[in-house]
């Protein structure tokens, strides 16, 4: 169903994993999608090929987040690509998905790890949104990819969990701020999803089974599980939901 026809979406971290799944789904629903990535050009190209094969429309935008000029560079390319297609800089959907993990219990945390996690997962996102608001259309959508680690204690990655907690707080405040423009702001909180991010944690069948057992469905999440929720939040059907953090963990640790 073409629920996003005529819409333009920017999905950060769409070269791999959950972001790729989201970009594909939004394109399948009819949106023109900017596939942002950090450095893995081959993976971004693969996402574009998959979208092309589905009959969708997309282009890639490269920008490293968590460094000083990352956000401006991203929008410069994004707007340049739109202009090449005869489009203005306005867009409709921003999905803040790019993120990094960082395993460290409290005694292992270093200032460098703390700064890096907050720079990529939290700081960059605030300024991505701030800059987006210049051109995000009224009635638009902002969707932040958070984590179930904000609900389920996860001391194995304490600072990572904190970066996502800050994201949830940001989501709440922003939803109130942008209500008068009809822009909804929500977060989606996955549990363990099969992606490169946690490949090392599920290196053996036993380790994988332990992670799968977090969910009442006894399996790991798939990028499509998250993408379908994001596609709903991106659509008009979700217009009465804002400021929410939607658990997308397959009922992990209920
Ligand atoms: P992933 O497979 O590791 O992919 C990460 C994506 O983000 C890639 O597209 C990567 O680009 C991009 N990226 C990472 N650091 C970047 C940087 N500094 N600058 C620009 N781009 C950067 O991750 P994932 O598992 O799909 O995770 C996506 C989101 O879901 C993250 O926010 C993560 O915290 C959240 N999440 C994941 C899980 C899980 O179990 N996987 C659970 C809860 C929440 P390149 O390909 O160019 O490197």
- Return the pLDDT at 126: 98
Cα gap 7→26, rounded to integer Å? 9
Residue 120 in domain: yes
d(CA 67, CA 72): 11
Quick one: pLDDT at residue 219?
98
CB 152 near ligand 1, within 6 Å: no
The answer to whether position 2 is within a domain reads no
Tell me which residue has its CA closest to atom 22 in ligand 1: 38
Is 228 domain-assigned? yes
Question: For every one of its 254 residues, what pLDDT tens digit does the chain have, with 9 covering 90 and above?
Answer: 689 999 999 999 999 999 999 999 999 999 999 999 999 999 999 999 999 999 999 999 999 999 988 999 999 999 999 999 999 999 999 999 999 999 999 999 999 999 999 999 999 999 999 999 999 999 999 999 999 999 999 999 999 999 999 999 999 999 999 999 999 999 999 999 999 999 998 999 999 999 999 999 999 999 999 999 999 999 999 999 999 999 999 999 99
d(CA 97, CA 81): 20
| Strand boundaries in the chain, DSSP class E | 8-11, 32-37, 57-62, 91-96, 136-145, 184-190, 245-248
Residue 51 lies in a domain: yes
Instruction: Tell me if 253 is assigned to some domain.
Output: no
Residue 12 Cα to ligand 1 midpoint, Å, equals 9
Residue 76 maps to which CATH number?
A: 3.40.50.720
The reply to whether ligand 1 has any atom less than 6 angstroms from the CB of 167 is no
Distance 86 CA to ligand 1 centre (A): 30
Identify the domain containing residue 96 by its residue range. 8-248
Q: Distance of alpha carbon 14 from its chain centroid, rounded?
A: 8
Tell me if 56 CB under 6 Å of ligand 1.
no
- Would 244 be classed as within a structural domain? yes
Number of domains in the chain: 1
**37, part of any domain:** yes
Please tell me the predicted confidence (pLDDT) of residue 229. Answer: 98
3-class state of residue 227 by DSSP: helix
Q: 3-class DSSP state for residue 88?
A: coil
Res 193: pLDDT? 98
Q: State the Cα–Cα distance between residues 47 and 248, nearest whole angstrom.
A: 23
Q: 104 lies in a domain?
A: yes
Query: Which pLDDT belongs to residue 84?
Result: 97
User: Is residue 41 in contact with ligand 1, taking CB distance under 6 Å?
Assistant: no
The C-alpha atoms of residue 83 and residue 103 are separated, in whole angstroms, by 41
Instruction: Reply yes or no on whether 160 is catalytic.
Output: yes
């Amino acid at each position: 169903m073409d629920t996003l026809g005529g819409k333009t979406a920017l999905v950060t971290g769409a070269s791999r994993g959950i972001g790729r799944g989201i970009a594909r789904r939004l394109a399948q629903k009819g949106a023109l999608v900017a596939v942002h990535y950090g450095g893995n050009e081959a993976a971004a190209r693969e996402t574009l090929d998959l979208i092309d094969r589905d009959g969708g429309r997309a282009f890639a935008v490269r920008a490293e987040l968590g460094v000083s000029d990352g956000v401006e560079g991203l929008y410069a390319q994004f707007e340049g690509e739109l202009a090449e297609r005869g489009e203005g800089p306005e867009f409709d959907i921003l999905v803040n998905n790019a993120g990094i993990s960082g395993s460290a219990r409290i005694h292992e945390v270093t200032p460098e790890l703390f700064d890096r996690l907050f720079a990529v997962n939290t700081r960059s996102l605030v300024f991505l949104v701030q800059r987006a608001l210049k051109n995000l259309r009224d009635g638009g959508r902002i969707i932040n990819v958070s984590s179930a680690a904000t609900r389920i204690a996860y001391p194995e990655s304490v600072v990572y969990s904190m970066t996502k907690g800050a994201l949830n707080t940001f989501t709440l405040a922003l939803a109130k701020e942008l209500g008068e423009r009809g822009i909804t702001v929500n977060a989606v909180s996955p549990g363990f999803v099969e992606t490169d991010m946690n490949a090392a944690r599920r290196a053996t069948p036993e380790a994988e089974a332990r992670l799968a057992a977090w969910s009442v469905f006894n399996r790991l999440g798939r990028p499509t599980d998250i993408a379908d929720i994001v596609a709903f939040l991106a659509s008009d059907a979700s217009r009465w939901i804002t400021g929410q953090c939607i658990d997308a963990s397959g009922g992990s640790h209920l």
